[in-house]
A and B are shown apart, each in its own frame.
Chain A
């Protein structure tokens, strides 16, 4: 230890109060009980943090302290307790914070070493492994996602109703994004006429189950993703079980009965449904977040007659259109899962490919909705017979 360094340390000690690990532990207990307000900051390097940290601490490495602390602790009158591995770096860091105008800065003497040595509680952070850090590096660079957001995505479970036009692009991108569990329910097999838009499948897989074809494509894209396949139709016998097991549902169905069935189960289990539909050159997207916005029955209390039910007519669709709408659904799903931005709750976004226009319609929750209204009973509503005159 050089002479000049000792001098700096001596001066810092004159200005910065030091607390023992026992004192900090006591303060943390107090914070839990009566909400006394301070921030505990770990100023060590990432590799040190990864080996364990004090529960309740936030991590701002010494090297980024000056640039990041004002974002993390904007209130400079608030107490900040700093710790490092042995108590030296935190003392220096505390000195710096004082220079930056923080009024009440404390350094923990002995650092994390002494904390751990005294047998006090510590936590191991959940971290991405090296391969994941590489794979999701572009997410990690986005502050709204970051490592914690990526871990959240990896823990998320998304159910796709249908691996068709909307489900294909949405599932591809959510698997790429690292949504950890993807469930796909689809009873159909791949047909030549699907391949114009259903990009999960390919020519070799004509005749195979779509759910199975989807699983092959998605796991090849991202081995982190667990794909559960359900080769069945969504009906009264399986809807509740399935919806209860997932965090969010991407609705890419082609018929009204399934949409009502799904809506009611999603209300019962309080699961958000990202809704999309397409027709020729036009599509629409919205998010049904139970009890925070309208539900599908608020929007459409009963299904239209066959003449107005586009899925039933052999209507056709521009192949790229479900790509656009499905990816809007995937985007909304990520927003809802991460709790960022403003999901399309209570807003119906419509897209007209020919005119190249997006429009937005405001949707309202119906206080008298038979499903989500004040006296609503989502558990015992009719789901309607299939209104389709021509099979979809």
Chain B
């Protein structure tokens, strides 16, 4: 069971949780599993086939765009981070 760390703006789509669990050997499989528990997250992270351009996804601190995208392997002990851009400075 990998841990999924959600950025603050995504938490309302997962009942307010900061960290949730999801299962899957690859990032794609894990996200599909995640959407079963929290269907409204799908619209934010993966509205179409591909990952949203607005949300950066990291597996163990590495950006999956530079790994294997949705095919990136995810270990049992992995942490997946979902992080959209933040602009607040004031």
Contacts and interface: CB of A to CB of B under 8 A. Distances in A.
A302 B54 contact: yes
A251 interface: yes
* Interface size classification for chain B: 20 to 34
A310 B63 contact: no
Nearest to A258: B87
A260 B84 CA distance: 15
Given A302-B53, A308-B9, A278 B88 contact: yes
Interface in B55-81: 55-56, 58, 61-63, 65-66, 81
A233 B22 CA distance: 44
A259 B87 CA distance: 8
Contact of B8 (A251, A276, A280, A360): A280
A252 B54 contact: no
B63 A254 contact: no
Given A282-B8, A308-B9, A361-B63, A162 B89 contact: yes
Interface residues of A, number: 49
Contacts of A360: 61
Contacts of B83: 350, 361
A16 to B, nearest CB: 58
Contact of B54 (A254, A304, A392): A304
A199 to B, nearest CB: 13
B61 A359 contact: yes
Contacts of B18: 352, 355
B86 A284 contact: yes
Contacts of B56: 299-300, 361
Given A305-B54, A308-B44, A362 B61 contact: yes
Contacts of B63: 361-364
Nearest to A326: B89
B55 A310 contact: no
A49 interface: no
A279 B86 CA distance: 8
A85 interface: no
Contacts of B66: 364
Interface in A133-158: none
Contact of A310 (B65, B81, B86): B86
Contact of B87 (A254, A350, A363): A254
Contacts of A301: 53
A317 B10 CA distance: 16
Contact of B90 (A252, A282, A350, A366): A252
Nearest to B86: A277
Interface in A338-364: 350, 352, 355, 359-364
Contacts of A378: none
Contacts of A277: 86-89
A249 B86 CA distance: 18
A110 to B, nearest CB: 61
A73 B66 CA distance: 44
Q: Could you say which of B10, B55, B63, B87 has the most chain A C-beta atoms within 10 Å of its C-beta?
A: B87
Contacts of A198: 90
Given A300-B54, A303-B54, A392 B61 contact: no
Interface string B2-13: 000001111000
A87 interface: no
A362 B87 contact: no
Interface in A310-333: 310-311, 313, 315, 317, 322
Nearest to A166: B89
Given A305-B54, A308-B54, A315 B61 contact: no
B87 A255 contact: yes
A361 B90 contact: no
Contacts of B85: 256, 299-300, 303-304, 308-309
Interface string B34-53: 00000000001000000001
B88 A279 contact: yes
Given A301-B53, A308-B85, 11 more contacts: A162-B90, A198-B90, A276-B89, A303-B54, A308-B9, A308-B10, A309-B87, A310-B9, A311-B87, A362-B62, A364-B66
5 contacts: A259-B87, A279-B9, A308-B9, A308-B84, A362-B62
